[in-house]
Each structure stands twice: as structure tokens, then as C-alpha cells.
């Protein structure tokens, strides 16, 4: 199916160009023209797949997010043996992956997405959809560590704060902390949750 | 001294306009023209005080940061009785102030500053200067809670992660968590640090 492969490759190329422009200059600067230039293509290649800037953002963010969801799902599957301790092990593994395993450009893209979602409804919708999925995943795992629903809620909130905090401190400080430094803080704070 | 008062008021007006434009649209959109428009003044009012966009950013961010530093210093002074427990009480109070006490526009401005500092050397310098001061303050307080320098480092890092995380999760989620929700997570995670 050469045509299908070609289509998928082109959509990846476009999505990666959106990611690059957004990470480097912010989502405000993501336009069909800027993305085509970055991908080394004509704007008609981009407009062959998307009719508007909104469609471009939606398509690209969905594809980028889908990849990360697949990564997270794999991490959970490896860590979770299905037993009583599997929930805690998977929560720890997901937090470690997000903070230490995800590549630096992903962190940059996430910050651009959080910032951009303040003023763009398409980005807001896509970020909400990802967060719903992410929090649902964490909640299901947390429920296997405690029967108290309040404790489940606090655990999910705390993991979100720890992960978001460890990602954003790198940008706050101007460069990412070393893996060891992030790992030390992660271990310390996850211990507070019994993880 | 009416002229001095006038100057100070005008600089506050300009700084507040920079904060508004940056919070709403990002620092990329902060120009002398945009700031003048937002302040309801002519560009010559702005250029009377600053000769360039860089100077405008530097002046405004310094003034805005100086106000927050004064706030934090007051919070520390109230919480710290100078005794053995004063260091821990002040650390807790500073974290609570940053997460619960600072007004929402400050959180928005901070996110804009962290994002903008990725591509603007003036913002990077000003954020670095603030962070040096902030981390020095936390370190001095943390040293009064433990003699172990590694533990001091981890405590300061962890407070930075908790505070940054609790601020950014609100933007990640699309709206700020309730004070109670933030307070619960803050209490849980500070407890891990013995605070």
C-alpha cells in the first residue's frame, strides 16, 4: 500500500514540523506557511491534508499525543504484573517515564501546549482530552493501592504536581536538572505517597 | 516631591501594562507600541523612560519581581520567630504564599516569564536573578532545619518542584484548582520534607 504509507509519512512530517515550530517559537507562531517552510514543503502539501490552521493544530497535536499515549501504555504494561503491588509499581514507572524517560523536546512541546491552550480553544480541547485519559489511567492504578476515594484523588493530584513540577523547574532554571537530581526529588516525593 | 511620585506612578503603570500584555498574549507580543496602547498612553510616554524593547522588559520585570520579593520577605518575617522551628515555619509559609497567597495574575505572569525566557536573554537574566535570590532564601531557611548539606539541597529542590508544580497544574488543567485542593496536596508533600 504505497499510497497509505506515503500519507502516514507525510502526516508525521507535518506533525513533527508543528512540534518543532511550537517548541521553539510557541503555538502562536504555528501557521500553515511556517510549518510548510520548516518541513521543506510547499504550503499546498500541507493544505492537501488540512483546510485550516485549526485543523493543522488538531491533526498534529492528536498524532503527537497518540505517540506519547502509546509510550505510556507500554510503560504501564511492563511495570504492572497484575498483582496487588502492580498498581503502585506502574504509578512509579509512569512518573519516572514522564520525568526521566521522555525526551527533552517532549517537555518543551508540553510547556508550549500548556501555554498555548490559554488562548487557543483547539489546543485546550486536545490537552483536556489527553489529561482526561492520563488522570483516568492514574486513578485506575491508584485505586489498586487504596480503597479510600479521597486518598485516590490526593494521590493522582500529587503525582500530577510532582510530574508537572519536575518538568517545569527545568525551564524555570534555564536548563534541565540532571537525571540524578530529578530522580532524587522524585523518589523523595513519591515516598510521601507510599510509592 | 510631585515629580518623583509622578515618575514612580508612571513606571508602575508601564510595568503593569507589560504584565497584562505578557500574561494574556505572551512576552513575544510585548512591544513598546502594545504596552503604550494597553496603558492608554502614547508611545512617547513609554520611550521617555526606556529607549528599547529590551530596556522596557528589563525595567518592567525588575519592578514586578521587586514587589513579589517584598511580599515574600514580609511572609518570612511574620513566620520566622528566629528560633529553631522558625526556619521550617518560614519555609512552609513561603510555599503556602506562593501557591495559595499570590494572586492568579502573578501565576499567569510567572508562566509567561518561564516560557518567554526560553527565547529572550533579558527575561532569562531577570528570571535567573530572581531564582538566585529565591533559592538563597530557601537554602538559608533549610539550613536551620538540618545540618546535612545534601538534605538542604534536596529540600530546596523539592520545594521548588512542589511550588512550580502546583502553579502549572492549574494551567495544565485549564483552570486553577480550588485552594482546598491545592492546600491538601501541599500539606501532603511538605510533610514528606518534615515541614
For chain B, the average pLDDT equals 94
> How many of the other CB atoms lie within 10 Å of CB of B148?
11
Residues in B closer than 8 angstroms to A25, CB to CB, are 28, 119
A75 contacts A97 by C-beta, under 8 angstroms: yes
A103 contacts B159 by C-beta, under 8 angstroms: no
Region A94-109: mean pLDDT is: 93
Give pLDDT, residue B173. 94
Give pLDDT, residue A84. 77
Q: Considering only residues A189 and A4, tell me which one the structure prediction assigns the higher pLDDT.
A: A189
Q: Which pTM does this prediction carry? A: 0.94
Instruction: Name the band, by pLDDT with cuts 50, 70 and 90, for residue A2.
Output: low
Q: Is the ipTM of this complex over 0.85?
A: yes
Mutation to test the B interface, candidates A161, A164, A170, A180, most B Cβ within 10 Å: A161
Give the C-alpha separation, A195 to B99, whole Å.
24
Concatenate the DSSP letters of all residues of B148-193 into one string: -HHHHHHHHHHHHHHHHHHHHHHHHHSSPPPHHHHHHHHHHHHHHT
Which of B78, B4, B10 lies closest to B45, judged by CA?
B10
**Residue A82 DSSP code:** S
Q: What is the pLDDT of residues A128-152, one digit of tens each?
A: 999 999 999 999 999 999 999 999 9
Put simply, the answer to whether B168 touches A173 (Cβ < 8 Å) is no
Q: What is the pLDDT of residues B3-46, one digit of tens each?
A: 666 899 999 999 999 999 999 999 999 999 999 999 999 999 99
Instruction: Report angle CA B191, B181, A162 to the nearest 5 degrees.
Output: 55
Give pLDDT, residue A102. 86
Among the partner-chain residues A25, A164, A184, the one whose CB lies closest to the CB of B154 is A184
Put simply, the answer to whether B118 touches A108 (Cβ < 8 Å) is yes
Region B74-88: mean pLDDT is: 92
Chain B residues in contact with chain A using a Cβ-Cβ cutoff of 8 Å: 24-26, 28-29, 108, 111-112, 114-115, 117-119, 124, 127-128, 131, 154, 157-158, 160-166, 168-169, 171-174, 177, 181, 184-185, 188-189, 191-193
Give pLDDT, residue B122. 98
Percent of chain B scoring above 90 in pLDDT:
91
Put simply, the answer to whether A164 touches B168 (Cβ < 8 Å) is yes
Instruction: Name the band, by pLDDT with cuts 50, 70 and 90, for residue B138.
Output: very high
Give the C-alpha separation, B43 to B158, whole Å.
44
Q: What is the pLDDT of residues A3-56, one digit of tens each?
A: 666 899 999 999 999 999 999 999 999 999 999 999 999 999 999 999 999 999
Residues 6+ away with beta carbon under 8 Å from B51: none
Residue B164 in this model has a pLDDT that exceeds 70: yes
Q: Which helix (H) or strand (E) holds B35?
A: helix B32-39
Burial class (CB in 10 A: 0-12, 13-18, 19+), A159: buried
Instruction: Report angle CA A88, A89, A90 to the nearest 5 degrees.
Output: 90
Residue A1 in this model has a pLDDT that exceeds 60: no
Residue of A nearest to B182 (CA): A157
Give the C-alpha separation, A106 to A188, whole Å.
24
Residue B165 in this model has a pLDDT that exceeds 60: yes
Residue of A nearest to B166 (CA): A161
Give the C-alpha separation, A142 to A149, whole Å.
9
Which of A30, A50, A53, A62 lies closest to A129, judged by CA?
A62
Burial class (CB in 10 A: 0-12, 13-18, 19+), B82: exposed
> How many of the other CB atoms lie within 10 Å of CB of B60?
25
Amino acid at each position: 500500500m504505497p499510497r497509505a504509507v506515503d500519507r502516514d509519512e507525510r502526516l508525521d512530517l507535518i506533525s513533527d514540523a508543528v512540534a518543532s515550530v511550537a517548541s521553539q517559537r510557541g503555538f502562536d507562531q504555528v501557521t500553515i506557511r511556517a510549518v510548510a517552510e520548516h518541513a521543506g514543503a510547499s504550503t499546498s502539501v500541507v493544505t492537501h491534508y488540512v483546510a485550516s490552521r485549526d485543523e493543522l493544530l488538531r491533526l498534529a497535536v492528536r498524532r503527537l499525543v497518540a505517540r506519547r499515549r502509546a509510550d505510556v501504555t507500554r510503560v504501564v504494561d511492563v511495570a504492572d504484573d497484575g498483582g496487588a503491588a502492580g498498581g503502585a509499581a506502574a504509578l512509579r514507572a509512569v512518573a519516572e517515564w514522564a520525568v526521566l524517560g521522555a525526551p527533552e523536546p517532549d517537555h518543551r512541546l508540553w510547556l508550549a501546549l500548556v501555554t498555548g491552550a490559554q488562548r487557543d480553544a483547539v489546543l485546550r480541547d486536545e490537552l483536556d482530552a489527553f489529561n482526561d485519559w492520563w488522570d483516568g489511567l492514574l486513578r485506575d492504578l491508584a485505586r489498586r493501592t487504596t480503597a479510600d476515594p479521597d486518598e485516590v484523588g490526593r494521590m493522582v493530584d500529587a503525582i500530577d504536581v510532582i510530574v508537572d513540577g519536575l518538568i517545569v523547574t527545568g525551564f524555570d532554571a534555564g536548563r534541565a536538572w540532571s537525571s540524578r537530581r530529578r530522580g532524587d526529588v522524585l523518589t523523595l516525593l513519591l515516598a510521601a505517597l507510599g510509592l
